[in-house]
Amino acid sequence: MDFRAILMGLGFALMWASAFTTTRMIVIAAPPLTALVIRFALSAVVAIALARAMGQHWRLSRGEWRAVIVFGLCQNALYLGLNWIAMQFIEASAAAIIASMMPLLVAFLGWVVYGERLRPIAVAGLIAGVAGVMLIMGVRLRLGLSVPGLLLCLLAMVALTAATLAARGAGGSRNMMMIVGLQMAVGALALLVPAVAMEWGATVDWSPQLVLAFAYTVLAPGIVATWLWFLLVNRIGAVRAATFHFLSPIFGVAIAALLLGERFGASDVIGAMIVAAGILMVQLARIPATAETQPSPGLPSDSRS
């Protein structure tokens, strides 16, 4: 892995983790589903325009349309919809920690459902990851962490895991930016009716912070991080690129503490480092002994909060 790839991976992980903090800023000032519909719509317009400028088209194969629908519904509508609702009641750092468990759950379900072999280091990583999350959440529950918010974040993480497993093998398309844009359009359409039904007439607490947070969420995690991910995967392969997810819990807790003044106690620091180590062990166990010769530009497993 060269220095440029490392910088790209660090940039992607930083933007992905920062999205939880900007989301928290948004949802305490504006109705979450309405804000998310607007974000998806704006991101879809920009991504589709970029795709057309790159010569991509929307004449997709059946597998590509499957990825659009599955990710548009599970990742965008369900995962982000549930997350944005939950983050009205739960801290950004807690949501980031829960979402970072997704690679661990993917590895576990790959073993249970698909019979994939887990190396000893991966098993140790799964145990470490769960232990780290339990340490953080156990302390926070005693300090008043919202149980409904926690449950919504867990459901969101399960939805994202299901999307990731369902879309395996869908990478390699030459229309990836178009697929991303169409997924965002699917997410906007899927959440439009719930947003109108649940949030019609809701007030917005306008402020420069809200505008900046929303603009950043649309541009950085929504588009730039996606583009960085594709570049990184094309450079080093999807499996190696995914190792950078181990930074998400560390970055997520640190950014939330820095910008929102959220809790940054010893249990958070130790737990985040344990979770990060677990994710790294699981991802390293997936890297084949030989170099990946044909990296697949798969979709970023997390996608952004």
Chain segment 221-239, per-residue pLDDT in tens: 877 887 787 778 778 776 6
> Which whole number is the average pLDDT over 20-42?
94
Cα separation, 172 vs 145, whole angstroms: 41
**Is the pLDDT confidence value at 299 over 50?**
no
Cα separation, 161 vs 182, whole angstroms: 20
**Is the pLDDT confidence value at 300 over 80?**
no
Q: Give residues with Cβ within 8 angstroms of 168, minimum separation 6.
A: none
Cα separation, 94 vs 257, whole angstroms: 11
Residue 230: its H or E element? helix 225-236
User: In this predicted model, what pLDDT tens digit does every residue of 86-99 receive, in sequence order?
Assistant: 999 999 999 999 98
For residues 106, 109, 114, 119, the Cα torsion angle rounded to the nearest 10 degrees is: 80
**Is the pLDDT confidence value at 84 over 70?**
yes
pLDDT for 168 equals 57
**Is the pLDDT confidence value at 305 over 70?**
no
Q: Pick from 305, 303, 168: which is nearest to 226 by CA?
A: 303
Comparing 157 with 289, the larger pLDDT belongs to: 157
pLDDT for 87 equals 93
Would you say 279 and 100 are in contact if contact means Cβ atoms under 8 Å apart? yes
What's the first-to-final CA gap in the chain, in angstroms? 27
> Which whole number is the average pLDDT over 265-276?
91
**Is the pLDDT confidence value at 19 over 60?**
yes
**Is the pLDDT confidence value at 277 over 90?**
yes
Cα separation, 126 vs 65, whole angstroms: 32
pLDDT for 295 equals 39
**Is the pLDDT confidence value at 255 over 50?**
yes
Comparing 244 with 240, the larger pLDDT belongs to: 244
Q: Pick from 145, 178, 164, 198: which is nearest to 37 by CA?
A: 198
Q: Which amino acid is at 57?
A: H
Token digits for 47?
Answer: 């991504």
> Which whole number is the average pLDDT over 204-229?
87
Token digits for 164?
Answer: 């990731």
**Is the pLDDT confidence value at 271 over 70?**
yes
Comparing 115 with 140, the larger pLDDT belongs to: 140
**Is the pLDDT confidence value at 169 over 60?**
no
pLDDT for 60 equals 85
Residues across the chain: 305
Cα separation, 71 vs 65, whole angstroms: 10
pLDDT for 163 equals 75
> Which whole number is the average pLDDT over 38-55?
90
Token digits for 209?
Answer: 């912070």
Cα separation, 280 vs 251, whole angstroms: 14
Q: How sure is the predictor about 171, in pLDDT bands with cuts at 50, 70 and 90? A: low
> Average pLDDT of the chain?
85
Cα separation, 100 vs 97, whole angstroms: 5
Residue with tokens 């887990």: 118
Residue 215 CA neighbour count, 13 Å, CB half: 6
